[in-house]
Amino acid sequence: MTSPLRVGVRRPDGPEPDIELWLHVPSRLDLVGEAVDLLTAQTERERRTALSARQLRFHFRTALAEALANAMTYGNRLDPEKDVEVRIHVGLRHVRVEVTDAGDGFDPHALADPTAPENVEREQGRGLFVIRHLADEVTFNAKGNRLCLVFRAH
Amino acid sequence: MAFTVTTDKSGVVVVAVDGQLIVGNRQDLKQKVLDALEKGGRKFVIDFTRTGYIDSSGLGVLVSLSKKIRELGGDLRLAGLNEDLQTLFELTKLDTLFSITRTPAEALAAF
Protein backbone atom coordinates (compact mmCIF):
# COMPACT_ATOMS: atom_id res chain seq x y z
CA MET A 1 0.00 0.00 0.00
CA THR A 2 1.46 3.39 -0.91
CA SER A 3 1.71 5.93 1.86
CA PRO A 4 -0.83 8.79 1.90
CA LEU A 5 1.72 11.05 3.60
CA ARG A 6 3.36 13.96 1.76
CA VAL A 7 5.16 16.74 3.61
CA GLY A 8 4.51 20.25 2.23
CA VAL A 9 7.30 22.83 2.48
CA ARG A 10 7.26 26.62 2.14
CA ARG A 11 10.56 28.52 2.19
CA PRO A 12 9.78 32.25 2.16
CA ASP A 13 12.34 34.83 0.99
CA GLY A 14 14.20 37.01 3.45
CA PRO A 15 17.17 36.74 5.79
CA GLU A 16 15.64 34.81 8.70
CA PRO A 17 12.11 33.71 7.91
CA ASP A 18 10.59 30.62 9.46
CA ILE A 19 10.41 27.70 7.07
CA GLU A 20 6.99 26.10 7.20
CA LEU A 21 6.29 22.38 6.88
CA TRP A 22 2.88 20.77 6.93
CA LEU A 23 1.45 17.29 6.82
CA HIS A 24 -2.08 15.90 6.91
CA VAL A 25 -2.27 12.51 8.57
CA PRO A 26 -5.40 10.32 8.45
CA SER A 27 -6.33 9.16 11.96
CA ARG A 28 -4.65 5.76 11.74
CA LEU A 29 -2.27 4.82 14.55
CA ASP A 30 -0.14 2.75 12.16
CA LEU A 31 0.81 6.01 10.41
CA VAL A 32 2.20 7.75 13.51
CA GLY A 33 5.70 6.29 13.21
CA GLU A 34 6.04 7.14 9.53
CA ALA A 35 4.65 10.66 10.01
CA VAL A 36 7.10 11.33 12.85
CA ASP A 37 10.03 9.99 10.82
CA LEU A 38 9.10 12.11 7.77
CA LEU A 39 8.68 15.31 9.78
CA THR A 40 11.82 14.78 11.84
CA ALA A 41 13.94 14.14 8.74
CA GLN A 42 12.48 17.16 6.92
CA THR A 43 12.94 19.46 9.94
CA GLU A 44 16.55 18.35 10.24
CA ARG A 45 17.14 18.83 6.52
CA GLU A 46 15.66 22.34 6.44
CA ARG A 47 17.72 23.87 9.20
CA ARG A 48 20.33 21.87 10.99
CA THR A 49 21.18 24.59 13.49
CA ALA A 50 17.72 25.01 15.01
CA LEU A 51 17.81 22.09 17.45
CA SER A 52 20.52 19.78 18.65
CA ALA A 53 20.60 16.20 17.37
CA ARG A 54 19.48 15.02 20.80
CA GLN A 55 16.55 17.44 20.95
CA LEU A 56 15.36 16.27 17.54
CA ARG A 57 15.99 12.59 18.15
CA PHE A 58 14.41 12.43 21.58
CA HIS A 59 12.38 15.49 22.66
CA PHE A 60 10.90 16.45 19.29
CA ARG A 61 10.27 12.91 18.07
CA THR A 62 8.71 11.59 21.25
CA ALA A 63 6.51 14.66 21.84
CA LEU A 64 5.33 14.65 18.23
CA ALA A 65 4.40 10.95 18.41
CA GLU A 66 2.45 11.61 21.61
CA ALA A 67 0.67 14.64 20.16
CA LEU A 68 -0.32 12.78 16.98
CA ALA A 69 -1.59 9.72 18.85
CA ASN A 70 -3.61 11.91 21.24
CA ALA A 71 -5.14 13.95 18.41
CA MET A 72 -6.09 10.81 16.47
CA THR A 73 -7.44 8.92 19.47
CA TYR A 74 -9.20 11.53 21.58
CA GLY A 75 -9.77 14.30 19.03
CA ASN A 76 -10.74 12.34 15.93
CA ARG A 77 -11.91 9.15 17.69
CA LEU A 78 -9.73 7.12 15.29
CA ASP A 79 -11.97 8.00 12.34
CA PRO A 80 -9.64 7.41 9.35
CA GLU A 81 -11.71 9.87 7.31
CA LYS A 82 -10.60 12.65 9.66
CA ASP A 83 -7.09 14.09 9.36
CA VAL A 84 -4.76 15.47 11.98
CA GLU A 85 -2.98 18.55 10.63
CA VAL A 86 0.62 19.14 11.65
CA ARG A 87 2.28 22.50 10.93
CA ILE A 88 5.90 23.06 11.83
CA HIS A 89 7.65 26.42 11.78
CA VAL A 90 11.39 25.94 11.69
CA GLY A 91 13.20 29.07 12.85
CA LEU A 92 16.89 29.64 13.41
CA ARG A 93 16.64 29.28 17.19
CA HIS A 94 13.38 27.42 17.71
CA VAL A 95 10.93 24.96 16.20
CA ARG A 96 7.19 25.44 16.73
CA VAL A 97 4.81 22.54 16.14
CA GLU A 98 1.03 22.85 15.88
CA VAL A 99 -1.09 19.70 15.92
CA THR A 100 -4.77 20.20 15.15
CA ASP A 101 -7.55 17.63 15.20
CA ALA A 102 -11.17 17.82 14.04
CA GLY A 103 -12.60 17.13 17.50
CA ASP A 104 -14.43 19.24 20.05
CA GLY A 105 -11.40 19.81 22.27
CA PHE A 106 -10.85 18.97 25.93
CA ASP A 107 -9.75 20.49 29.20
CA PRO A 108 -6.01 19.84 29.55
CA HIS A 109 -6.14 20.79 33.26
CA ALA A 110 -8.53 17.97 34.13
CA LEU A 111 -5.91 15.21 33.88
CA ALA A 112 -4.61 13.10 36.77
CA ASP A 113 -0.90 13.02 37.68
CA PRO A 114 0.38 9.75 36.16
CA THR A 115 3.31 9.63 38.61
CA ALA A 116 1.09 9.60 41.72
CA PRO A 117 1.46 6.25 43.53
CA GLU A 118 -2.14 5.25 42.77
CA ASN A 119 -1.65 5.95 39.04
CA VAL A 120 1.86 4.72 38.29
CA GLU A 121 0.66 1.22 37.38
CA ARG A 122 -2.05 2.45 35.05
CA GLU A 123 -1.59 1.59 31.40
CA GLN A 124 -2.74 4.96 30.07
CA GLY A 125 -2.65 8.64 30.94
CA ARG A 126 1.02 9.57 30.45
CA GLY A 127 0.91 11.25 27.02
CA LEU A 128 0.38 14.89 27.92
CA PHE A 129 2.60 14.57 30.99
CA VAL A 130 5.45 13.36 28.77
CA ILE A 131 4.81 16.14 26.23
CA ARG A 132 4.95 18.80 28.97
CA HIS A 133 8.35 17.57 30.08
CA LEU A 134 9.85 17.28 26.63
CA ALA A 135 8.78 20.57 25.01
CA ASP A 136 9.99 23.97 26.23
CA GLU A 137 6.51 25.44 25.88
CA VAL A 138 3.10 23.74 25.61
CA THR A 139 -0.14 25.61 24.93
CA PHE A 140 -3.64 24.79 23.71
CA ASN A 141 -6.04 26.94 21.77
CA ALA A 142 -9.24 27.98 23.60
CA LYS A 143 -11.28 25.16 22.06
CA GLY A 144 -8.70 22.57 23.07
CA ASN A 145 -8.29 20.89 19.68
CA ARG A 146 -4.95 22.47 18.78
CA LEU A 147 -1.76 21.79 20.68
CA CYS A 148 1.23 24.08 20.17
CA LEU A 149 4.71 22.92 21.18
CA VAL A 150 7.84 25.05 21.12
CA PHE A 151 11.34 23.62 21.21
CA ARG A 152 14.16 26.13 21.68
CA ALA A 153 17.82 25.79 20.79
CA HIS A 154 19.75 25.66 24.06
CA MET B 1 11.26 -6.72 11.78
CA ALA B 2 10.73 -4.57 14.85
CA PHE B 3 10.74 -7.33 17.48
CA THR B 4 13.03 -10.33 17.65
CA VAL B 5 12.23 -13.06 20.17
CA THR B 6 14.91 -15.51 21.31
CA THR B 7 14.97 -17.95 24.20
CA ASP B 8 18.27 -18.59 25.97
CA LYS B 9 19.34 -22.03 27.21
CA SER B 10 17.87 -21.48 30.68
CA GLY B 11 14.48 -20.56 29.20
CA VAL B 12 14.64 -16.77 29.56
CA VAL B 13 12.74 -15.09 26.73
CA VAL B 14 14.59 -12.09 25.30
CA VAL B 15 12.66 -9.66 23.10
CA ALA B 16 14.79 -7.12 21.23
CA VAL B 17 13.05 -3.92 20.11
CA ASP B 18 14.52 -2.56 16.90
CA GLY B 19 13.59 1.06 16.08
CA GLN B 20 10.68 2.33 18.14
CA LEU B 21 8.05 1.11 20.54
CA ILE B 22 5.07 3.33 19.92
CA VAL B 23 1.32 3.41 19.46
CA GLY B 24 1.50 1.85 15.97
CA ASN B 25 3.44 -1.32 16.89
CA ARG B 26 2.99 -1.86 20.63
CA GLN B 27 0.30 -4.51 20.08
CA ASP B 28 2.83 -6.64 18.15
CA LEU B 29 5.15 -6.60 21.16
CA LYS B 30 2.28 -7.40 23.50
CA GLN B 31 1.18 -10.34 21.35
CA LYS B 32 4.71 -11.75 21.12
CA VAL B 33 5.11 -11.70 24.90
CA LEU B 34 1.62 -13.14 25.46
CA ASP B 35 2.42 -15.96 23.00
CA ALA B 36 5.62 -16.75 24.91
CA LEU B 37 3.67 -16.72 28.20
CA GLU B 38 1.16 -19.11 26.66
CA LYS B 39 4.03 -21.46 25.77
CA GLY B 40 5.17 -21.45 29.39
CA GLY B 41 7.81 -18.69 29.38
CA ARG B 42 7.95 -16.87 32.73
CA LYS B 43 11.25 -14.97 32.69
CA PHE B 44 11.48 -12.09 30.25
CA VAL B 45 14.05 -9.52 29.23
CA ILE B 46 13.11 -6.72 26.88
CA ASP B 47 16.24 -5.43 25.19
CA PHE B 48 16.18 -1.76 24.16
CA THR B 49 19.78 -1.59 22.97
CA ARG B 50 18.63 -0.81 19.40
CA THR B 51 15.59 1.30 20.30
CA GLY B 52 15.35 4.94 19.21
CA TYR B 53 12.29 6.09 21.12
CA ILE B 54 9.31 4.91 23.15
CA ASP B 55 6.06 6.82 23.52
CA SER B 56 3.63 6.72 26.42
CA SER B 57 1.53 3.96 24.89
CA GLY B 58 4.70 1.88 24.57
CA LEU B 59 5.31 2.53 28.26
CA GLY B 60 1.70 1.54 28.94
CA VAL B 61 2.15 -1.81 27.23
CA LEU B 62 5.25 -2.51 29.33
CA VAL B 63 3.25 -1.71 32.48
CA SER B 64 0.43 -4.06 31.51
CA LEU B 65 2.81 -6.86 30.48
CA SER B 66 4.73 -6.49 33.71
CA LYS B 67 1.49 -6.90 35.71
CA LYS B 68 0.41 -9.90 33.67
CA ILE B 69 3.79 -11.63 34.02
CA ARG B 70 3.89 -11.00 37.78
CA GLU B 71 0.36 -12.40 38.19
CA LEU B 72 1.61 -15.61 36.61
CA GLY B 73 4.58 -15.76 38.97
CA GLY B 74 7.07 -14.56 36.37
CA ASP B 75 9.53 -11.70 36.12
CA LEU B 76 10.10 -8.99 33.50
CA ARG B 77 13.35 -7.05 33.25
CA LEU B 78 14.30 -4.17 30.98
CA ALA B 79 17.80 -3.70 29.60
CA GLY B 80 19.87 -1.50 27.32
CA LEU B 81 18.02 1.81 27.76
CA ASN B 82 19.99 4.72 26.36
CA GLU B 83 20.30 7.96 28.31
CA ASP B 84 17.17 9.47 26.75
CA LEU B 85 15.01 6.42 27.41
CA GLN B 86 16.33 6.17 30.95
CA THR B 87 15.25 9.82 31.40
CA LEU B 88 11.77 8.92 30.16
CA PHE B 89 11.44 6.12 32.71
CA GLU B 90 12.63 8.40 35.51
CA LEU B 91 10.29 11.20 34.43
CA THR B 92 7.27 8.92 34.58
CA LYS B 93 8.55 7.20 37.76
CA LEU B 94 8.40 3.88 35.93
CA ASP B 95 12.02 3.29 36.93
CA THR B 96 10.54 2.44 40.35
CA LEU B 97 8.21 -0.18 38.85
CA PHE B 98 10.69 -2.06 36.65
CA SER B 99 13.90 -3.86 37.26
CA ILE B 100 16.28 -2.15 34.82
CA THR B 101 19.82 -3.27 33.97
CA ARG B 102 22.45 -1.71 31.76
CA THR B 103 22.83 -4.65 29.38
CA PRO B 104 20.77 -7.73 28.48
CA ALA B 105 23.65 -9.91 29.72
CA GLU B 106 23.34 -8.34 33.19
CA ALA B 107 19.58 -8.93 33.15
CA LEU B 108 20.10 -12.60 32.24
CA ALA B 109 22.77 -13.03 34.90
CA ALA B 110 20.43 -11.59 37.56
CA PHE B 111 17.73 -14.27 37.10
Boundaries of every domain in chain B: 3-110
CATH topology of domain B3-110: Transcription Regulator spoIIAA (3.30.750)
Q: Is A65 in contact with B55 (Cβ distance < 8 A)?
A: yes
| Confidence band for B32, pLDDT divided at 50, 70 and 90 | very high
Q: What is the pTM of this model?
A: 0.91
Q: What's residue B73's pLDDT?
A: 96
Q: Which residues of A touch B19 (CB under 8 A)?
A: 33
Kindly determine whether residue A133 and residue B91, on different chains, have CB atoms separated by under 8 Å.
yes
- Extents of the domains making up chain A: 18-105
> Among the residues of A23-94, which ranges form H helices?
32-46, 53-54, 61-70
Task: Look at A33 and B93 and tell me if their CB atoms are within 8 Å.
Answer: no
Q: Name the minimum distance, in Å, from the CA of B9 to any CA of chain A.
A: 32
Cα A27 to Cα B102: distance, rounded to the nearest angstrom = 37
Residue B44, CA distances (Å) to A11, B47, B80, B90, B109 in order: 49, 10, 14, 21, 12
Write out pLDDT tens, residues B71-108.
Answer: 999 999 999 999 999 999 999 999 999 999 999 999 99
When CB atoms are compared, the residue of B20, B23, B64 closest to A69 is: B23
Residue-level pLDDT, tens digit, chain A, 154 residues:
578 899 999 988 876 778 999 999 999 999 999 999 999 999 999 877 789 988 999 999 999 999 999 999 999 999 999 999 999 999 989 999 999 999 998 888 888 999 999 999 998 999 999 999 999 999 999 999 999 999 999 8
- List CB contacts (< 8 A) between A61 and chain B: 52-53
- If you classify domain A18-105 with CATH, what class do you get? alpha beta
| Crossing angle of helices B56-71 and A127-134, rounded to 10° | 130
Chain B partners within 8 Å of A114 (Cβ): 92
